[in-house]
């Protein structure tokens, strides 16, 4: 009898302790106390053909500083599209502001665009973005797969 009771207690311990720990972790994550995005380091990866110098979000405005690597061409950025599950961009040229609009390759381009539905200040957000641009020869091109993890200010 005593041995059976010990076996039952061991089995219950093996089942209950992990279940309680998982329940606590889920509860803390659900309430926002634990947020996996807060421990992910900030990063900025530009799409092919560009180098990301910096990225930040201040008061709902995304500011990207990119350096084109398409040497020998002037570039005009015509569209920035932000795709993400945690923020919705106001996509398209009407929502896009950039300085300067026409830039030599190898010189930084600053692109700004308003974002909506961002998490509160101090939280990190993961953004994926694509760029459309025109080169010297009026050829439209698309650079896909830029990625940013940045803290909302």
Q: 117-134, pLDDT tens digit by residue?
A: 777 788 888 888 888 888
CA atoms within 13 A on the CB side of 71: 0
Contact 111, 47 (CB under 8 A): no
How far apart CA 35 and CA 85 sit, in angstroms, is: 15
All structural domains of the chain with their residue ranges: 1-34, 40-151
What was the pLDDT predicted at 94? 38
Amino acid 55: pLDDT: 92
pTM: 0.64
Predicted pLDDT at 125? 83
Checking if the pLDDT of 95 tops 50, the result is no
Q: Is 41 helix (H, G, I), strand (E, B) or coil?
A: coil
Convert the pLDDT of each residue in 31-56 to its tens digit.
777 766 566 678 899 998 889 999 99
* Alpha-carbon distances of 56 from 17, 71, 110, 114, rounded to whole Å: 42, 26, 11, 12
CATH of the structural domain 40-151, one choice from 3.30.70.100, 2.60.40.1480, 1.10.357.10, 3.20.20.140 = 2.60.40.1480
Write down the pLDDT at residue 126.
Answer: 82
Question: 95: closest CA among 72, 129, 123?
Answer: 129
Arithmetic mean of pLDDT, 81-96: 53
- CB burial readout 22-53, b (16+ within 10 A) else e: eeeeeeeeeeeeeeeeeeeeeebebbebbebe
Q: Residue 130: count other Cβ atoms within 10 Å of its Cβ.
A: 16
**pLDDT of 13 higher than 90:** no
Collapse the DSSP code of 42 into the 3-class scheme (helix H, G, I; strand E, B; otherwise coil) and give the result: coil
Mean confidence (pLDDT) of the chain = 77
**Band of pLDDT at residue 78, cut at 50, 70 and 90:** confident
């Amino acid at each position: 009898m005593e041995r059976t009771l010990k076996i039952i207690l061991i089995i219950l311990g093996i089942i209950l302790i992990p279940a309680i720990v998982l329940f606590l972790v889920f509860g803390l994550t659900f309430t926002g106390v634990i947020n996996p995005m807060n421990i992910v380091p900030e990063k900025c990866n530009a799409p092919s053909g560009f180098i990301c110098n910096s990225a930040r979000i201040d008061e709902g405005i995304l500011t990207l500083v990119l350096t084109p690597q398409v040497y020998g061409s002037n570039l005009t950025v015509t569209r920035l599209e932000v795709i993400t599950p945690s923020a919705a961009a106001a996509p398209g040229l009407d929502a896009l502001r950039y300085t300067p609009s026409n830039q030599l390759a190898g010189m930084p381009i600053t692109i700004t665009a308003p974002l909506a539905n961002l998490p509160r200040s101090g939280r990190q957000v993961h953004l994926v973005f694509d760029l459309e641009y025109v080169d010297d020869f009026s050829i439209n091109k698309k650079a896909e797969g830029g990625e940013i993890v940045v803290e909302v200010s």
